[in-house]
């Protein structure tokens, strides 16, 4: 029996992680072994990109074999234009996270790196699973390593933050489980692709949609169930924040694309105003909340919520467009915009959390007021920080611009006021990000501690440089990413405009 | 085997076990204290012998003997094998614990085997009277076991409480049995079901009998509001006895419910399903909520048992074959998880130190990362997080409930599971996030280490590939 590429990507990091725990740094090996596993996984994931057929919406790299025969649950993996870029994002960020924890993790380093490797495997599993039960297994299993990561290596309030994180997400996902079981009873199988085809009445769809909504809204997170995120981000170690913002949040958005929209299109249509309203509240209200934050990590956390509001807006604007113009042009634009925004936000928020981590390692403070004039002592670092801040504000030429632009453009087709509200992010995003940069990076040197700062070392330069490369590349030339998902987006746009009633 | 008449063959396991008990009685009488290991080995040998007898007694399908008061079917053999494995595990866990406390006596094994015999009789009961016989045998052995550390006042108090409440419950059960007998004129489940099926179900007497029987069942399971004994007994009894009570008798309680309610009072299903559903929901609610307030981990696991029992009863309340299979799966998985959890506690205790407060596990990850990881697996499995066996147990029960269009019960089950997650997480928190306050590294014997690790890893393996156990449960109820 041959092992498929996707299985390899899922199980290599998990087994590697277990090996790291078992060796327990006995030969001084945990960092290098972890880095080796993470880099190997990334290299192995390259053929996924290279061998991906862009012209089709069918699942690729499919692996399928029986798992629990009595319930027709299968070990069923495959990727399409939505999941492949997210898997690449995961495999790319994990080595960065390992490197980010290279020197600062003193307590149980083997467990720290192992937790991230196991997380990586589980996250890839979530994106690759095409069997609902398998998906749920990966989805829930992820909670445990993240719980440990925040709880063991986090800040002072880590226990509160991690328990809140666990209970919020656990509460959200149990309702998804009920919906998945219901769909299984309707179709007689756990295949997600069969779920897409099953006809459902509007009432059923609405209940299923709401069950999924609880799960995904918590994960995204959408207002008003976002409150776990600032706590978790602030308390998590740098690596935890990066993975949380860059990959975990994307699972909510991915869930909408994989489950809510195609399984319950009519319910999505019925409830689109609700979804658009929640998205706009996230964009506008959370934008204001971000403005007043004193803690850099909290500020970036709120900025993440606002940016994820764009993602959900892009997904659900479809019906507003349909209702207004009567045609489906523009739907694909919103979906593409949301997807691009997810990938781009993965890079940018990850990079910003790394930047905060770099400063925190030196000064042990996340408070904006503890800094000032960092550019004087850390010029190279300041250049990176300003770049990522610009990208976060959606500056054209960076990846942050592409997604926001597409979503705003799509919103215009639906309703000018939606577009206007969404576009406030250009002002708000610039305001809270750049104001933070102004207070932290520019100006006169704030205090003696800042004066004594040392600029980034080679390792940190490498991390930030890699991310900067991708942020710029994606902003200047987004075509490779957009091409990959074109066929899948068109297919989904066609699917959701067909009523299931 | 010419020694045993062919029609007795299905009862071979009970005979083998009884034989082993007699041998143990005699051996234990004559061995000096320093050779007490011999009793232990005889007890384990007896279990192996009984397991062989279970294999030997295999018959096709369902056979009833002893004038329809004893039944052998695939379910009975499956439950007996699971019970034997769990009793052996309990014995393995307990040895060093008992030795450290000067409790390493033959009586522990003797009472344990008697209790197992009671469980066997319950599992194979085909009539109300056989069931009662097995139940009393089990209960009396357990009362003795709880009071086993006779110089310990808490244990004596717990045993007294258990005995008094248990006697009341047995009385209720017996009263219910007598009413059912009075109405239907028979004691074996088949005839009772046939008589009830003829339409005497409207009779008030039948309903009263049924209600009293359910009281007995709820008491044995520890379902709210008949749970009062459970936390006290868990806390008061020596750890090795708590380990026993929290595991194997649950299999008997499952058999009791299945045989009496489904096979005997099956025609009354419309009457007892709502009752079980009510018991289930209040057990889930009270167990999960009150567990949060506990600082003693034995009590906490006691309340956690009550919550898990709620889930098992939900499986029965679904009223379908699927639901019963789910309940069986849940019971087996629960027994495995509880054994592992108490195993880690036994392992964390040592001479002169009882690991019985949650705080006693502080910093376990720093002291013994391997066992902290094992406990982590068990706790996470009890929450019901995949990929651990506990998840599939909950998932299957939920699937059965949704299939039976009992969405409300399914939602209640899930919501209380989320509440329950909190106190399991607290154990993880104490082990991983808190600093050790001077506890020593765990240095258990090789046997204990191996069994605890196997037990916890089995929960993981069954989670990655649950098909095997699911298949066994479906076949057992075939």
What tens digit of pLDDT does each residue of A346-373 get? Answer: 999 999 999 998 888 888 888 888 888 8
Beta bridge partners of A79: A60
Instruction: Choose the closest CB to B467 out of A68, A174, A181.
Output: A68
Instruction: Choose the closest CB to B432 out of A67, A69, A148.
Output: A148
A155-202 residue pLDDT tens: 888 889 899 999 989 998 889 999 999 999 988 889 998 888 888 888
Classified as helix, coil or strand, A75 is strand
A72 to chain B, minimum CA–CA distance in Å?
A: 11
Q: What is the reported pLDDT for A427?
A: 87
Instruction: Choose the closest CB to A185 out of B395, B403, B428.
Output: B403
Cα B144 from chain centre: 17
B365 and chain A: CB distance < 8 Å anywhere?
Answer: yes
- Say if CB A113 and CB A34 are below 8 A apart: yes
Phi, psi of B400, deg, nearest 5: -65, -40
Contacts of A162 in chain B (CB under 8 A): 433
Of the two residues B267 and A209, the one the predictor is more confident about is A209
Confidence of residue B311 (pLDDT cuts 50, 70, 90): very high
Q: What is the reported pLDDT for B78?
A: 92
Mean residue pLDDT of chain B comes to: 89
pLDDT above 70: percentage of residues in chain B = 97
Q: What is the reported pLDDT for B440?
A: 66
Query: Rounded to whole angstroms, how far apart are CA atoms A370 and A360?
Result: 10
Closest among A345, A288, A347, A352 to A312, alpha carbons compared: A345
Q: What angle do CA A156, A222, A113 make, to 5 degrees?
A: 45
| Contact between A140 and B385 using a beta-carbon 8 Å cutoff | yes
| Contact between B387 and A137 using a beta-carbon 8 Å cutoff | yes
Instruction: Choose the closest CB to A159 out of B414, B433, B471.
Output: B433
Contacts of A108 in chain B (CB under 8 A): 365-366, 369
Contacts of B433 in chain A (CB under 8 A): 151-152, 158-159, 162
Of the two residues B38 and B437, the one the predictor is more confident about is B38
Contacts of B386 in chain A (CB under 8 A): 136-137, 140-141
Instruction: Choose the closest CB to B417 out of A68, A108, A174.
Output: A174
| Contact between B373 and A182 using a beta-carbon 8 Å cutoff | no
Query: Rounded to whole angstroms, how far apart are CA atoms A33 and A98?
Result: 10
Mean pLDDT over A44-56 rounds to 87
* Count of residues making up chain A: 501
Interface probe, candidates A170, A189, A218, chain B, greatest B C-beta count within 10 A: A170
- Say if CB A146 and CB A244 are below 8 A apart: yes
Residues 6 or more apart whose Cβ sits within 8 Å of residue A413: A317, A321, A324, A325, A329, A330, A333
| Chain B stretch 404-443, residues whose beta carbon is closer than 8 A to a beta carbon of chain A | 407, 410-411, 414-415, 417-418, 421-422, 425, 428-429, 432-433
pLDDT higher than threshold 60 for residue B350: yes
Instruction: Choose the closest CB to B395 out of A143, A148, A177.
Output: A177
DSSP B322: H
Instruction: Choose the closest CB to A170 out of B402, B403, B418.
Output: B418
Closest among B190, B210, B160, B168 to B63, alpha carbons compared: B190
pLDDT higher than threshold 90 for residue A491: no
| Contact between A178 and B399 using a beta-carbon 8 Å cutoff | no
Structure tokens at B418: 């989320």
In chain A, which residues touch B (CB < 8 A)?
Answer: 21, 24, 67-71, 108, 111, 133, 136-137, 140-141, 143-144, 147-148, 151-152, 158-159, 162-163, 166-167, 170-171, 174-175, 177-178, 181-182, 184-185
Q: What is the reported pLDDT for B122?
A: 94
Query: Rounded to whole angstroms, how far apart are CA atoms B180 and B172?
Result: 12
B431 to chain A, minimum CA–CA distance in Å?
A: 10
pLDDT higher than threshold 80 for residue B372: yes
Is the C-alpha dihedral spanning A242, A248, A249, A253 positive or negative? positive
Give the least confident one: A119-133, A227-241, B123-137, B274-288. Answer: A227-241
Query: Rounded to whole angstroms, how far apart are CA atoms B314 and B392?
Result: 15
Query: Rounded to whole angstroms, how far apart are CA atoms A85 and A276?
Result: 25
| Contact between A143 and B365 using a beta-carbon 8 Å cutoff | no
Classified as helix, coil or strand, B150 is coil
Helices (H), A364-398: 374-377, 379-392
Query: Rounded to whole angstroms, how far apart are CA atoms A418 and B212?
Result: 64
A414 to chain B, minimum CA–CA distance in Å?
A: 37
B441-473 residue pLDDT tens: 667 778 888 889 999 999 999 988 898 898 888
Give the least confident one: A85-89, B28-32, B393-397. Answer: B28-32
CB pairs under 8 A between A and B: 88
Q: What is the reported pLDDT for A259?
A: 92
B36-95 residue pLDDT tens: 888 889 999 999 999 999 888 877 788 888 888 898 889 999 999 999 999 999 999 888
Query: Rounded to whole angstroms, how far apart are CA atoms B448 and B459?
Result: 17
| Contact between B410 and A170 using a beta-carbon 8 Å cutoff | no
Query: Rounded to whole angstroms, how far apart are CA atoms B402 and B410?
Result: 7
**What is the β-pairing status of strands B63-65 and B70-72?**
antiparallel
pLDDT higher than threshold 80 for residue B3: no
Cα B307 from chain centre: 14
Mean pLDDT over A482-499 rounds to 86
Distance of CA B306 to CAs A318, B122, B222, B224, B326, Å?
48, 21, 6, 7, 17
A109-154 residue pLDDT tens: 888 899 999 999 999 999 999 999 999 999 999 999 999 999 888 8
- Say if CB B73 and CB B238 are below 8 A apart: no
DSSP A24: T
Distance of CA B413 to CAs A185, B223, B404, B416, Å?
19, 15, 15, 5
Residues 6 or more apart whose Cβ sits within 8 Å of residue A151: A158, A159, A162, B428, B429, B432, B433
Q: How many angstroms separate the first and last alpha carbons of chain B? A: 29
Mean pLDDT over A256-272 rounds to 89
Query: Which of A20-34, A430-444, B344-358, B376-390 has the largest mean confidence?
Result: B376-390
pLDDT higher than threshold 80 for residue B258: yes
Residues 6 or more apart whose Cβ sits within 8 Å of residue B475: B74, B78
The complex scores an ipTM of: 0.90
| Contact between A152 and B433 using a beta-carbon 8 Å cutoff | yes
| Contact between A158 and B433 using a beta-carbon 8 Å cutoff | yes
Instruction: Choose the closest CB to A159 out of B403, B429, B465.
Output: B429
B365 to chain A, minimum CA–CA distance in Å?
A: 9
Mean pLDDT over B222-234 rounds to 90
pLDDT higher than threshold 90 for residue B347: no
Interface probe, candidates B329, B363, B402, B477, chain A, greatest A C-beta count within 10 A: B402
Contacts of B366 in chain A (CB under 8 A): 108
Instruction: Choose the closest CB to A70 out of B422, B429, B474.
Output: B474
Confidence of residue A49 (pLDDT cuts 50, 70, 90): confident
Q: What is the reported pLDDT for A25?
A: 66
Q: What is the reported pLDDT for A120?
A: 93
Is the C-alpha dihedral spanning A60, A66, A72, A73 positive or negative? negative
Interface probe, candidates A26, A70, A160, chain B, greatest B C-beta count within 10 A: A70
Place of tokens 């850099």: A296
B311 and chain A: CB distance < 8 Å anywhere?
Answer: no
Give the least confident one: A329-338, A463-472, B435-444. Answer: B435-444
Beta bridge partners of B63: B72
Mean pLDDT over A87-95 rounds to 92
Bin A326: left if φ > 0, else alpha if -120 < ψ < 50, else beta: left
Mean pLDDT over A79-91 rounds to 91
Query: Rounded to whole angstroms, how far apart are CA atoms B302 and B295?
Result: 12
pLDDT higher than threshold 60 for residue B1: no
pLDDT higher than threshold 60 for residue A1: no
Closest among A135, A127, A120, A122 to A83, alpha carbons compared: A127
| Contact between A182 and B398 using a beta-carbon 8 Å cutoff | no
B305 to chain A, minimum CA–CA distance in Å?
A: 21
Closest among B138, B116, B230, B219 to B172, alpha carbons compared: B219
Q: What is the reported pLDDT for A2?
A: 66
Helices (H), B349-368: 364-367
| Contact between A163 and B395 using a beta-carbon 8 Å cutoff | no
Q: What is the reported pLDDT for B377?
A: 93
Query: Rounded to whole angstroms, how far apart are CA atoms B336 and B248?
Result: 10
pLDDT higher than threshold 70 for residue A3: yes
Mean pLDDT over A403-430 rounds to 87
């Amino acid at each position: 029996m041959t092992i498929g590429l996707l299985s390899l990507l899922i199980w290599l990091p998990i087994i590697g992680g277990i090996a790291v725990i078992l060796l327990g740094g006995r030969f001084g090996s945990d960092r290098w072994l972890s880095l080796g596993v993470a880099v190997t996984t990334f290299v192995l994931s390259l053929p996924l990109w290279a061998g991906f057929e862009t012209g089709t919406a069918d699942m690729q790299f499919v692996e399928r074999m029986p798992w629990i025969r009595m319930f027709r649950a299968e070990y069923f993996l495959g990727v399409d234009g939505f999941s492949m870029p997210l898997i690449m994002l995961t495999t790319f960020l994990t080595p960065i996270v390992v490197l980010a924890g290279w020197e600062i993790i003193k307590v149980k380093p083997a467990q720290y790196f192992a937790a991230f490797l196991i997380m990586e495997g589980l996250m890839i599993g979530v994106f690759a699973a095409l069997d609902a039960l398998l998906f749920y297994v990966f989805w829930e299993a992820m909670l445990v390593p993240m719980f440990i990561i925040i709880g063991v290596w986090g800040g002072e309030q880590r226990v509160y933050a991690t328990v809140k994180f666990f209970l919020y997400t656990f509460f959200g996902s149990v309702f998804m489980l009920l919906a998945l079981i219901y769909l299984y009873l309707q179709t007689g199988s756990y295949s997600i692709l069969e779920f897409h085809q099953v006809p459902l009445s509007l009432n059923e769809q609405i209940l299923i949609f709401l069950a999924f909504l609880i799960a995904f809204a918590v994960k995204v997170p959408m207002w008003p169930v976002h409150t776990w995120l600032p706590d978790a981000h602030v308390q998590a170690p740098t690596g935890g924040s990066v993975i949380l913002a860059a990959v975990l949040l994307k699972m909510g958005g991915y869930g909408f694309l994989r489950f809510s929209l195609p399984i319950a299109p009519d319910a999505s249509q019925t409830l689109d105003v609700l979804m658009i309203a929640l998205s706009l509240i996230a964009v506008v209200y959370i934008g204001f909340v971000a403005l007043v934050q004193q803690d850099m990590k909290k500020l970036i956390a709120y900025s993440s919520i606002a940016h994820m509001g764009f993602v959900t807006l892009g997904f659900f604007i479809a019906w507003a467009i349909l209702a207004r113009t009567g045609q489906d042009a523009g739907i694909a634009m919103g979906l593409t915009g949301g997807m691009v925004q997810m990938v781009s936000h993965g890079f940018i928020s990850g990079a910003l959390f790394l930047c905060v981590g770099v400063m925190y390692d030196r000064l042990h403070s996340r408070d904006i007021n503890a800094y000032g004039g960092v550019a004087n002592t850390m010029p190279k670092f300041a250049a990176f920080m300003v770049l990522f801040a610009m990208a976060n504000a959606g500056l054209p030429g960076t990846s942050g611009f592409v997604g926001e632009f597409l979503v705003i453009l799509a919103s215009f087709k639906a309703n000018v006021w939606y577009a206007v509200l969404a576009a406030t992010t250009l002002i708000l995003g610039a305001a809270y990000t750049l104001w933070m940069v102004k207070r932290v990076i520019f100006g006169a040197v704030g205090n003696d501690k800042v004066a004594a700062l040392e600029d980034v070392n080679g390792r940190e330069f490498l991390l930030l440089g890699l991310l900067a490369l991708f942020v710029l590349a994606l902003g200047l030339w987004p075509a490779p990413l957009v091409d990959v998902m074109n066929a899948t987006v068109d297919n989904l746009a066609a699917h959701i405009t067909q009523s299931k009633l | 085997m010419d020694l045993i008449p062919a029609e007795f063959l299905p009862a071979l396991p009970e005979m083998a076990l009884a034989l082993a008990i007699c041998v143990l009685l005699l051996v234990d009488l004559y061995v000096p204290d320093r050779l007490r290991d011999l009793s232990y080995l005889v007890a384990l040998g007896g279990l192996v012998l009984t397991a062989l007898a279970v294999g030997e007694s295999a018959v096709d399908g369902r056979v009833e003997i002893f004038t329809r008061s004893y039944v052998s079917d695939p379910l009975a053999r499956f439950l007996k094998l699971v019970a034997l494995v769990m009793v052996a595990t309990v014995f393995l866990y307990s040895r060093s614990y008992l030795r450290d406390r000067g409790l390493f006596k033959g009586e522990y094994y003797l009472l344990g085997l008697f209790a197992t015999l009671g469980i066997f009789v319950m599992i194979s009961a085909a009539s109300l009277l056989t069931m009662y016989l097995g139940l009393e045998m089990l209960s009396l052995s357990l009362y003795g076991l709880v009071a086993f550390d006779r110089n310990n006042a808490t244990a004596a108090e717990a045993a007294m409480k258990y005995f008094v409440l248990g006697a009341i419950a047995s009385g209720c059960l017996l009263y219910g049995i007598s009413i059912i007998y009075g109405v239907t004129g028979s004691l074996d489940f088949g005839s009772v079901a046939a008589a009830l099926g003829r339409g005497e179900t409207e009779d008030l007497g039948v309903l009263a009998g049924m209600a009293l029987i359910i009281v007995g069942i709820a008491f044995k399971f520890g379902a709210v509001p008949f749970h009062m004994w459970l936390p006290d007994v868990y806390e008061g009894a020596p750890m090795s006895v708590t380990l026993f009570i929290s595991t194997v008798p649950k299999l008997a309680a499952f058999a009791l419910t299945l045989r009496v309610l489904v096979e005997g009072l099956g025609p009354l299903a419309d009457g007892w399903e709502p009752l079980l559903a009510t018991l289930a929901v209040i057990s889930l609610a009270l167990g999960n909520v009150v567990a949060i307030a506990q600082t003693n981990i034995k009590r906490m696991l006691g309340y956690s048992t009550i919550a898990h029992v709620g889930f098992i009863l939900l499986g029965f309340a679904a009223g379908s074959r699927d639901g019963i299979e789910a309940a069986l799966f849940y019971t087996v998985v629960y027994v495995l998880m509880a054994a592992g959890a108490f195993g880690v506690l036994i392992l964390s205790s040592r001479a002169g130190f009882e690991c019985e407060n949650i705080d006693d596990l502080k910093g376990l990850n720093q002291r013994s990362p391997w066992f902290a990881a094992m406990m982590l697996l068990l706790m996470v499995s009890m929450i019901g997080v995949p990929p651990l066996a506990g998840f599939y147990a909950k998932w299957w029960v939920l699937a059965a409930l949704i299939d039976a269009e009992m969405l409300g019960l399914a939602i209640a089950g899930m919501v209380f599971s989320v509440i329950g997650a909190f106190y399991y997480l607290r154990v993880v928190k104490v082990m991983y996030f808190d600093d050790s306050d001077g506890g020593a590294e765990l240095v258990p014997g090789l046997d204990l280490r191996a069994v605890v690790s196997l037990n916890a890893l089995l929960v993981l393996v069954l989670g990655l590939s649950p098909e095997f156990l699911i298949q066994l449960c479906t076949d057992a109820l075939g």
